[in-house]
Amino acid sequence: MVAEERRRALVTGISGQDGSFLTELLLEKGYEVTGLSRGAPQRSLGCSEHLREHVKLLWCDLLDTDGLQSAIGHARPHELYHLASPSFVPTSWEQPLHTLQTIAGSTAAILEAVLRIDPRTRVFVASSLAMFGDARESPQREDTCCRPSNPYAIAKLTAHQLVGAMRGRDGLFGCSGILANHESERRSEWFVTRKITRGAAAIKLGLTDELYLGDLDAVRDWSFAGDIMRGAWLMLQQDSPRDYVLASGVGHTVRQFAQAAFGCVDLQAERYIRVDPSLVRPPDATPSVGDPSRALRELGWAPQLSFEDLIERMVHADLKELQGHQGGS
């Protein structure tokens, strides 16, 4: 009897939060995982550094089309997960050209390379609920009309539409994951969620006494990054490619997030939080909340970690890390 071929996956953005959770999942399922990253081999793998000995690594700039084709040809993946992209929205206003190139341009380069090397490769591209922008409805579904309001969202919509166009024209097994905000203890401290959980932990430990935030009434749909990446994997296991919103379906304000985080350390958020006007963005015309009904119906997917448990996980991780720094000082 011939042994079944081991599944091979190529992951861009392996050093980020999403890449690390996805890689852990793929390794658990017996995949041979190759990570594609920029820079030199000695460069840190960030969130996936603990996985270095368990994956293969290739080094390539995603806008280097020849290098990218060579990398995909070398890895010969059955499944390709394109997660790499800048994700901090304010920066996209400072570098709109770079944002469009790194998000939409890299997606085009990857899809073109896949069609040239092996059109049977299944491709997942990470899009964002941000592409709906000032939509007329909330929660947003896969067929909600998009009205993106910043360069990041415009680039994500472009990548999303390109997947659909090449799926229809070239028969590509391409899926766009329309991802709501997803967090974990591996999230960068640039993001408000990690800023809050780390701030709550620091105040509890007496390392600081205030936390400055922007708009406390901004609404987001938050899920655990590990759950979202499980949804990405499920999308590529289907008989036919389709796009899916991956979200909790429930919106919470920044204020509610902060109250839950401070509650994890038995503190009242209102006593420590200050609003910094420089951090306040223009209010959203429509709450950014996703409708995951299609994913639940067709993939059997739903978030497993609750909003409250996600925050508790993040706060406890920050407490542990900061206590470690105290002990080592």
For residues 35 and 56, is the Cβ–Cβ distance under 8 A?
Answer: yes
Amino acid code (one letter) for 266: D
Locate 12 and state its tokens: 């861009």
* Predicted local distance difference test score (pLDDT) of residue 306: 98
Distance CA 125, CA 156 (A): 10
Residue 259: closest CA among 318, 302, 213: 213
How far apart, in whole angstroms, are the C-alpha atoms of residue 319 and residue 74? 42
Residue spans of alpha helices (H) in 76-222: 89-94, 96-100, 106-117, 151-170, 192-204
CA neighbor of 39 nearest in space, from 67, 17, 69:
67
* Surface-to-core class of residue 245, CB atoms within 10 Å of its CB (0-12 exposed, 13-18 middle, 19+ buried): buried
Identify the three-state secondary structure at position 172. Answer: coil
pLDDT at 219: 96
Residues of the chain predicted below pLDDT 50: 2
Q: What is the pLDDT of residue 93?
A: 76
d(CA 188, CA 165): 33
What is the pLDDT, as a whole number, of residue 327? 66
Structure tokens of 195?
Answer: 């800023």
Can you give the pLDDT at residue 147? 96
Query: What confidence score (pLDDT) does residue 278 get?
Result: 86
Q: Is the dihedral of CA 184, 187, 189, 191 positive or negative?
A: negative
pLDDT at 90: 66
Among 100, 107, 102, CA closest to 123: 107
Q: How far is CA 29 from CA 22, 26, 146, in A?
A: 11, 5, 35
Which pLDDT score is estimated for 88? 62
The pLDDT value recorded for residue 260 is 98
For each of the domains in the chain, give its residue range(s) and CATH number, in order of start.
8-183+224-246 (3.40.50.720), 192-220+251-289+305-328 (3.90.25.10)
3 state DSSP class of 33? strand
